[in-house]
């Protein structure tokens, strides 16, 4: 294998798997005896998707109350599928664009139905039908999801960013900050605060997490034709000879910027509802550790940074570890 060949090491599903899941859960919901049972099936699908794609996030969300955890899993599914269209599906740019546009149209269509069963029976995908339901329940502005889809469309074509503000305002906002906003409405605020108070720390944490993800994926993104590191901070590689140095330097630039946002986000953790704080703080600690690993351990371009199970568990309070092993199976 060529030194600069990228092979994904994640458990990725192709379009056929996604279609199979949609058909399966569409049938379950169509035949559900009640709206509650239909919603149960939708939550089951969300959990299946999160567990397959993100072991780390799946682990930290086990410390949320079940009602919040169920909704977080639906949010994850609603953002994961469009991301897969862009990153994983072996389609042309035009096909990807058409799929995202069709997905957006289905989300618009979902606003016409108050019943989950009715929405699914009118050809709105299960994930979107469930996401619309929770958005209405939690009063999440739909404009955030449209911003997310717009960011996914930007990933289809090669895109450069002039500086860090350009990257954050024109990509990270739609791809991560609004996702943090979705979750803020689910996590809830402490008794003397409101959702509005949560938007600032949610934004800061969203930026930090996304910059860490981008830093980890610099090498992979090269093969996708994407360069997120601002060009005012680092020149683009002109060939594969320059790739090694580019990846190493880009990782440091992005991870260093991420670290500043983790520091800011840390200050707002106490604003979230008490029963959400362990999960959110564990998420921050876990991804910050990964970020610090990127900063402190210089590795070859084709190395993919990750945390061991021991490292992941180190961020969980000892008094809660037993709960992880019990809940992980439910």
Claim to verify: residue 40 and residue 149 sit in the same structural domain: yes
Claim to verify: residue 196 and residue 294 sit in the same structural domain: yes
Claim to verify: residue 28 and residue 150 sit in the same structural domain: yes
Claim to verify: residue 72 and residue 45 sit in the same structural domain: yes
Domain count, the chain: 2
Task: Write out the DSSP string of 222-280.
Answer: HHTT---S-TTTSPPPSSGGGHHHHHHHHHHHHHHHHHHHHHHHHTTGGGB-HHHHHHH
Position 326 in a domain: no
Query: 308 pLDDT band (50/70/90 cuts)?
Result: confident
- Angstrom distance (rounded) from CA 226 to CA 175: 14
Tokens 């035009």 belong to 94
- Out of 109, 131, 157, a domain closes at 157
Position 7 in a domain: no
Q: Report pLDDT for 311.
A: 83
The mean pLDDT of 80-92, rounded to a whole number, is 94
Position 2 in a domain: no
Claim to verify: residue 140 and residue 238 sit in the same structural domain: no
Which residue range is the domain that position 250 belongs to? 159-317
Instruction: Note the pLDDT tens digit of each residue in 2-38.
Output: 455 544 445 689 999 999 999 999 999 999 999 999 9
Claim to verify: residue 92 and residue 192 sit in the same structural domain: no
* Residue 189 confidence (pLDDT) above 80: yes
Beta bridge partners of 189: 272
Claim to verify: residue 77 and residue 62 sit in the same structural domain: yes
Instruction: Note the pLDDT tens digit of each residue in 211-250.
Output: 999 999 999 999 888 999 999 999 999 988 999 999 999 9
Claim to verify: residue 138 and residue 195 sit in the same structural domain: no
Task: Write out the DSSP string of 104-160.
Answer: HHHHHHHTT-S-HHHHHHTT--HHHHHHHHHHHHHT--THHHHHHHHHHHHTTS---
Query: What is the SS3 assignment for 329?
Result: coil
Position 240 in a domain: yes
Please count the other Cβ atoms lying within 10 Å of the Cβ belonging to residue 272: 23
The mean pLDDT of 102-131, rounded to a whole number, is 98
Q: DSSP assignment, residue 38?
A: H
Position 131 in a domain: yes
* Residue 317 confidence (pLDDT) above 80: no
Query: What is the SS3 assignment for 221?
Result: helix
Claim to verify: residue 165 and residue 306 sit in the same structural domain: yes
Position 151 in a domain: yes
Q: CB under 8 Å, gap of 24 or more: what pairs does 130-137 form?
A: 130/39, 130/42, 130/43, 130/45, 130/46, 130/74, 130/77, 130/78, 131/74, 131/75, 131/77, 131/78, 131/107, 132/107, 133/39, 133/42, 134/71, 134/74, 134/75, 134/186
CATH, residue 227: 1.10.600.10
Which H or E run includes 201? helix 195-216
Please count the other Cβ atoms lying within 10 Å of the Cβ belonging to residue 47: 20
Claim to verify: residue 91 and residue 65 sit in the same structural domain: yes
Claim to verify: residue 142 and residue 171 sit in the same structural domain: no
Q: Which residue has the higher pLDDT, 250 or 323?
A: 250
Claim to verify: residue 95 and residue 211 sit in the same structural domain: no
* Residue 316 confidence (pLDDT) above 80: no
Position 153 in a domain: yes
């Amino acid at each position: 294998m060529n030194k600069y060949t990228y092979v994904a090491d994640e458990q990725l599903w192709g379009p056929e798997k996604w279609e199979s899941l949609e058909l399966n859960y569409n049938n379950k919901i169509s035949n559900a005896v009640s709206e509650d049972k239909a919603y149960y099936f939708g939550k089951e699908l969300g959990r299946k998707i999160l567990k397959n794609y993100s072991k780390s996030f799946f682990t930290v969300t086990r410390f949320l109350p079940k009602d919040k955890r169920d909704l977080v899993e639906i949010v994850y599914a609603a953002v994961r599928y469009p991301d897969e269209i862009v990153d994983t599906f072996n389609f042309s740019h035009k096909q990807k664009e058409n799929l995202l546009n069709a997905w957006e149209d289905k989300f618009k269509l979902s606003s016409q139905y108050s019943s989950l069963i009715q929405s699914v029976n009118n050809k709105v995908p299960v994930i979107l039908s469930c996401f619309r339901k929770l958005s209405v329940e939690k009063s999440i502005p739909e404009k955030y999801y449209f911003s997310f889809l717009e960011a996914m469309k930007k990933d289809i074509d090669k895109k450069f960013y002039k500086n860090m503000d350009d990257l954050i305002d024109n990509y990270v906002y739609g791809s991560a900050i609004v996702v943090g906003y979705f979750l803020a409405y689910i996590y809830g605020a402490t008794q003397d605060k409101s959702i509005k108070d949560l938007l600032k720390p949610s934004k800061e944490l969203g930026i930090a997490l996304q910059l860490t993800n981008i830093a980890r994926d610099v090498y992979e993104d090269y093969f996708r034709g994407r360069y997120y590191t601002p060009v005012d901070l680092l020149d683009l590689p002109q060939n594969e000879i320059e790739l090694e140095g580019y990846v190493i330097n880009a990782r440091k630039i992005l991870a260093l910027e991420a670290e500043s946002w983790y520091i800011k986000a840390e200050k707002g953790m106490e604003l979230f509802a008490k029963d959400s704080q362990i999960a959110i703080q564990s998420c921050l600690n876990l991804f910050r550790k990964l970020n610090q690993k990127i900063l402190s351990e210089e590795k070859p371009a084709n190395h993919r940074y990750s945390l061991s199970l021991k490292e992941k568990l180190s961020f969980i309070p000892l008094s809660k570890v037993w709960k992880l092993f019990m809940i992980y199976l439910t």
